Structure 1
Amino acid sequence: MRASSNLNSQILGILDKVNHLNHLKQLQAYLITSGHSQDQFFSFKLVRCCVLSLSNFDYARQIFSSLVSPNVYLYTAMITAYSFQPDHDSSLLLYRDMVRKKRPKVSHFIYPHVLKSCPEVLGSNGTKMLHTQILRTGYVLCSLSAFGHMGMLQLGKSTHGYVLRNGLAPNSLIANGLVDMYGKCGSLKEARRVFDDTLKRNLTSWNSMINSFALHGQSESAIMVYEEMMQHNVKPDAVTFVGLLNACTHGGLVEKGRSFFTSMVNDNGIEPDIHHIGCFIDLLGRAGQFAEAMEVIKAMKTPPDEAVWGSLLNGCKIHGRMDLAEIAVKKLIEIDPNNGGYGTMLANIYGALGEWEKARMVWITLKEQKAYKIPGCSWIEIDNQVHQFYSADDSHFKIEDMHSILESIFSFADENIFHHHLLPHT
């Protein structure tokens, strides 16, 4: 059950004035009777009030222990409180509990407080061992994230080798990082192999695999992973549904996407955020379902952002809906008036509609505002070197060779493909 924004503000107002444990207990009793005993946000606020305002660590631990599945913020709050008390034994025991149970994803904010408790409990050798483990894990995770974003597959594979040589493979954080890296680099077989070899999968493991397939248009594979996840009784979260909606968009699976969007709200109690709505609008726009897309946009509780209007615009261009495209581009210009790309789109739309005077006025405005257009960019990795390319940019040192190869391909296609199929046989 989710608290209303009105209840939210009332409780926060009361918490600011709490100066006695009995007052806090009354507030907690109210939350329990109103069905909010497991609310992570309110529980965090109660724990924080216990520690900072009342200095009552025992009752803070009682609140924490009453939660079925505390999130990372609650673990961080309790571990931090113990390290400052100081109660180093409790701090390390709680950290061990967090790691063993694979509850939430470990936050880097926890590490300084855990290390603070180590010398008192584990001695210098134990502290060094934990510090080394943290550094190794952090190094590997940062490297995998960077290599994934840059598409540097060979360096990602080298990092994977480092993981295997140093016995870090059983770490689920690193396994998830490997799946994500291989997925972003397009090596889906390797991503799936790491995923299958991960003995203790958590929600992030499943989400990484779903999003990897979705990113590369393998819609059915992404949905199959989700169905497998359901068989393992793993509860999906907001990230899961972003991946599923993306998968449906790339596969043109409108009914399936609509079903996931509805299930997310009705069956899982997840409020759609801007990412879900952007994906859903993209799905509907590509399918030409503009009436439904506009209804979804009108029903949004927050103002649509660039992703939402951009998704609608993409569908409009596919299906030639210049009337809606004009609306979408005007909204995009309102959001980012200095982006010359949006102005160029609007001028082109007016040109397609034959409204040349409006197109001329847009070009004049762009010139006066000195609006910029972000150039398109792509990159590839060859022999461990990343080559970056920008739209309309001929500065690459191999540009002449590339043009020569392209001309050869076009010439071959013209002589052997187009010529063969277009000319009548005699």
Structure 2
Amino acid sequence: MSAFTESALLKKLSELNTSQQSIQTLSLWLIHHRKHHTIIVQTWQRELQNVAEPKKLTFMYLANDVIQNSKKKGPEYGKEFSNVLPKVFAHIGESCKSDKLLGSLGRILNIWQERGVYDAKTIADYRGRLHKESSSSAAGAAGAHPVAATGNGNGNGTTKTPSDKHSKVTDKSEKREKRKHEERLSKSKRSRTSHHATAATPIVEPAAPAAEPENGHTPPYLPLGEPPEPEELIKALNSIENSASSDALVRERIAKLPPEISEISCISKLEDKEKAKLLANQVNEAVDLLNDYNARLAAEMEQRTKLAAMLRDFQAEQKELLAQAEQRLDEHKKKLAKMLGLQKEIHDHLSNLPDLTQLPDVTGGLAPLPSAGDLFNTLH
């Protein structure tokens, strides 16, 4: 992974886009260089204030990814971002008017609150700063316009201003986005529940809802989940080996259950009360056995669903690390080729230098230089 410099960070931030690969790549790079978290977060804040409105949302998606995926490595980023986020949300609330941007940031705040990234009081402060401009504009407009008894009043001596309407539109947009978020969560839970009864392929619930696509474009990226550590993944894989579906003893007991307990026609063949009681006991024992085994299978299915999510996130991280390793390998290959070329040039230059062994021996000293008189006589 390339070394950290402020110029490299500025270059990467300028090249950042809304794609998953772009955000994940830069997020991993920032987490790798987390010892520089102070200057990274300060630079991120400064650049966010200078970029266009659409890219401010991309910067926030990047911060969201870094904050959530760096928790296992350490709390540095979470604490450092908490120092600048109040100013960032206030800046966006004052300078941005897009309902889409405000709604997307509202979803990020919902995710942070649900996952306990920041406490409810902090989230409420961020949300208040984000929508402060709308409420202050409404208050300023109400003070600037006198109370009207006629005209565009609402019949009770007050006047609705455009800022009031904008504030209500923003509040409605936020409520609408929150409602959509809750609906997506409930649908995902229903899908997972029905899957346990009807499907064989695990359904992986995304760790964060993505923004809905607009005009056919790919929605901005929100992280799927925090990649697990290898030890956690190995532990989860080992636990699957002792799962209910691999319990041969219980499966054999179920296979050996007598057919009388599942065939209704056998009831008519009962001859006395004792045989009926015996059959009832067998049925009750079979029901208990099957209920226990079904509960274990349901727990195993839930465990496999979580394992699938862990494998997905781990695979995504490893692919990204592999791509970065291949990039570093290419860089080193280019440096090696350059050094080999330089080595050849030095070798060729040395081979073209005169052979010092062919020069006369000057151990005893050089011959004295001729005097001026000797030179003058020689010329005449």
Compute the TM-score of the two structures, normalised by the length of structure 2.
0.29
More relative contact order, 1 or 2 (CA 8 Å, 6+ apart): 2
Name which one, 1 or 2, has greater alpha-carbon Rg: 2
